[in-house]
Amino acid sequence: GQQVQQSPTSLVLQEGENAELQCNFSTSLNSMQWFYQRPGGSLISVFYNPSGTKQSGRLTSTTVIKERRSSLHISSSQITDSGTYLCALNNNAGAKLTFGGGTRLTVRP
Amino acid sequence: EAAVTQSPRNKVAVTGGKVTLSCNQTNNHNNMYWYRQDTGHGLRLIHYSYGAGSTEKGDIPDGYKASRPSQENFSLILELATPSQTSVYFCASGDALRGRVAETLYFGSGTRLTVL
C-alpha cells in the first residue's frame, strides 16, 4: 500500500478562510518535507520539518512522528495560494524522498 | 537562486524508440532525482544519484536507465519507449551530506513526454 497518504485530495476555500492539509505515513520517518506546485508548474520547497512545529508567514507545519502524521496549515488564504501541496518523506533509506498524492487547493475570491 | 534546467520541455516519441531526457544543475549539488508525475499518482521516484558516477534505483525503475557522468548532469534514458511512459518528468537537485536527503530540493520545469 501507499506509504504516504494526503487528505483531502482537493479543497475549495473562499479567500480569507483557513486550510488544514494532512499527510499520514505508514513507515518510519527520518524527515518530512512539504512542497508547493503551481498549476502546470514546477515544485517549490515550502518546509523541511522532521518533527515539531515550524512557521513561515501564514504557513505552519506540524509533524508528530509517533502519530505518523504531518499537517500544513494555511491561515487567511489568498487566491495566490491556489495550487497543489505535496508532502514527501524520507524514511532513513538514504536520500530517497517518497511523495504523497497531493492536495489541490483552490481559493476563490 | 539555485537553477535546474531540463531539456527538452516537450518530446513526442514513437513506441520502441530511444528517448533521453537531460537535466543540468550548476549549484554543485550532490543529490539529483528523476520523478514522473501522473494524475492520481503524485510524484514517483524513478532513479536518483548521490554524485558523479552514482545511480540508485527508485521506486519505479523498470524501463528506465539513468546516467550521472558529472556533478552537473543527470540523464534519464528510455531505451525502448512505451505508451505507458507518457508522463511529465521532473528532475530535482539538492545539497546534502553523502547518503542523506537535502533539506531543500530544487526542481526543474518538467518535460512532457508523449509516446505514441
Q: Do A94 and B50 touch (CB under 8 A)?
A: yes
Residues of chain B with C-beta less than 8 angstroms from the C-beta of A98 = 45, 59
With beta carbons under 8 A apart, name residues in chain A contacting B107: 42-44
Q: Answer yes or no: is pLDDT of A91 > 90.
A: no
State whether residue B5 sits within 8 Å of chain A by CB.
no
Question: Is a pLDDT exceeding 90 seen at residue B9?
Answer: yes
Q: What is the pLDDT of residues B59-83, one digit of tens each?
A: 999 999 999 999 999 999 999 999 9
Q: Does A102 sit within 8 Å of B42, measured CB to CB?
A: yes
pLDDT band at B40 (very low <50, low <70, confident <90, very high): confident
Q: What is the pLDDT of residue B1?
A: 66
Is 70 exceeded by the pLDDT of residue B93? Answer: yes
Q: Residue A2: what pLDDT?
A: 62
What does the H/E/C string look like for A48-108?
ECCCEEEEECCEEEEEEHHHCEEEEEECCCCHHHCEEEEEEEECCCCCCCEECCCEEEEEE
Q: How far A109 CA lies from chain B's nearest CA (Å)?
A: 27
pLDDT in tens, A48-63: 998 999 999 999 999 9
- A65 vs B: CB within 8 A: no
